[in-house]
Chain A
Amino acid sequence: MPDASPTRIVADADVLAADVLVGGASRDALDHVRSHSWLTLVASDALLDDAHAVVAALADDDLADAWRDRAADATDRVDHEPGDHPGLASAVHGDAAHLLSFDDALGSVHAGMSVQPHAKLSVRPPDAFARLFDAASLYEAEFDDAYPGPDRDPRA
């Protein structure tokens, strides 16, 4: 399995749904990803299904469907075993180094998972990620070049 990349990020379904329904730290965190074309949001169909269900339950089906279409377009899709935790499994199979979740117990070993979280996986709540993520340092470490600044409209 390739090494996890710090440019590949998974948001669990609670963070994905809070991004659209609540805003706040979840939106701040995902705005980092949306603002940089070299960062990749990773998700499985099961993960998007979970977030879709939450948006539908708390808002309505139309908004949930529209969110699902946009999120599907914005994510690099990965597959995993049906019984696995969608957030964790997306991070493991998607070679992501960051998993954003309100559940801070996600980083521990999970019984029943077909794969276990790799050692490089950082599980953080969105407020911590939004506060600590340093796009300039990461860009310069990954690309050996000066950070050019945000290159995408996070509302597009």
Chain B
Amino acid sequence: MSRPLDAATTPATRTLFDPAAEPSCMTWGDLFDAAADVDVTERDVREALREHREDDDA
């Protein structure tokens, strides 16, 4: 059985169990928090990617 997602697996305490697994960069949670104020939609994302790939193809 796997360990449930309790305090033992949170980033703050994970180094107690597996130091090698500690990421050297921001966590996903940190990234999502940092992006929380970005006001865009899925449509905006799709359009931005389309424009980027069209620029690359040009």
Which A residues are within 8 Å of any B CB, using their own CB? 13-14, 17-18, 20-27, 34, 50-51, 53-54, 57-59, 63, 66-67, 69-70, 73, 102-103, 148-156
Render B20-34 as a binary contact track against A, CB cut-off 8 A, 1 for contact. 000111111111101
B19 to chain A, nearest CB (A): 14
Query: Among the listed A59, A103, A153, which residue makes an inter-chain contact with B5, where contact means beta carbons less than 8 Å apart?
Result: A153
| Total residues of chain B contacting the partner, CB 8 A | 32
How many A-B pairs have beta carbons closer than 8 Å: the answer is 102
> Which residues of chain B have C-beta atoms less than 8 A from A21's C-beta?
35, 38, 40, 45
Q: Could you tell me if B52 and A66 are in contact, using CB atoms closer than 8 angstroms? A: no
> Which residues of chain A have C-beta atoms less than 8 A from B32's C-beta?
20, 23, 27, 155
